[in-house]
Structure 1
C-alpha cells in the first residue's frame, strides 16, 4: 500500500474496513470491498479502495462526488440511459453529485479515491 503524506503532519494514519454491497443494490456476485481511509475531514475522505469482481447499483447524494484513479484493474460505471464509461489502470474518473447507475468491477480493482461533500 502507498502512503499518503499530510503537510505538517507526516504519514497519514490508515483506518481499514471491509464491507459488501447492500443486498437491495446487488446486481452480480457479492464482491468484498476493502477501504483504507487515509485522511478524513468533515467534507472529504480519501484513501485506497479495493474490490473483487461484481456489480451493484449506486446512488450519489446531491452534495457528494468522487474523483478516483485506478491503480490496478478495470471498472465500468453505467448510467441510467444505458451508456457507460470504462476506467482502467493509469486512468482517472469522476462520479458527479446525484449520479445514479451501476458500478461494475470487471477485473479486481485497486484505486485511490477522494470523496468530497459540499
Structure 2
C-alpha cells in the first residue's frame, strides 16, 4: 500500500517525496549578508530529527546572492532539481550547479551563494554542535 502518511503518523513513517510537501516557510537572507536585494526563499522541511541535528527537505529561491558562513558543525548535501546556482569560496573558486547536479557545502565553508536562475533543490543539512 503506497498511501501518504496520516497527519498524526509516528516519526518512524517512511517519507516519500512524491507525497504532498508540507507548507513552505518563506524567508530572505539577512540584509547584512545580501548582495543587492535579498531574494525570496522557500523551505519545505520534510524531515527533522528530534534533536535538531538533521533537516531534509525542498528549497527554492529567486535570483540573487548573499554571503554564507557555515559553522564548524554544519554540512549540507544538495541536488538541484531545476534552475542554476553558483557557490564561490573566499579564494574566488566558483562551482556552478544545474538540474541533476549534486554537491556538498562542507562544515566551516565561507563564501558567496548566487542563484543565477530561479532554483529548486533537495537538501540534507547536518548540524552538529
Shorter-chain TM-score above 0.5: yes
Give the Cα separation in 1 of the matches to 2:62 and 2:115: 7
The one-character-per-residue Cα deviations of 1:17-63 (angstroms, maximum 9, x if unpaired) are 10001000011332100000000012200100000000000000100
Q: Which residue of 2 aligns with 1:9?
A: 13
Q: Which residue of 1 aligns with 2:34?
A: 26
Q: Which residue of 2 aligns with 1:100?
A: 110
Check the 8 A contact 1:20/1:32 in 2, yes or no. Answer: yes
Give the Cα separation in 1 of the matches to 2:97 and 2:66: 16
Give the Cα separation in 1 of the matches to 2:110 and 2:73: 13
Per-residue deviation, 1:79: 0.4
Q: Which residue of 1 aligns with 2:47?
A: 39
Check the 8 A contact 1:29/1:53 in 2, yes or no. Answer: no
Give the Cα separation in 1 of the matches to 2:97 and 2:122: 13
Per-residue deviation, 1:15: 4.9
Per-residue deviation, 1:83: 1.1
User: TM-score, normalization: structure 1?
Assistant: 0.89
SS across alignment from 2:82? strand
4+ aligned runs moved over 2 Å, structure 1: 4-8, 10-16
Unpaired segments ≥5 residues, structure 2: none
Give the Cα separation in 2 of the matches to 1:28 and 1:90: 28
Greater per-residue strand proportion: 1
Question: Is residue 2:61 matched to residue 1:51?
Answer: yes
Check the 8 A contact 2:65/2:112 in 1, yes or no. Answer: yes
User: TM-score, normalization: structure 2?
Assistant: 0.82
Check the 8 A contact 2:30/2:38 in 1, yes or no. Answer: no
Per-residue deviation, 1:82: 0.9
Greater CA radius of gyration, 1 or 2? 2
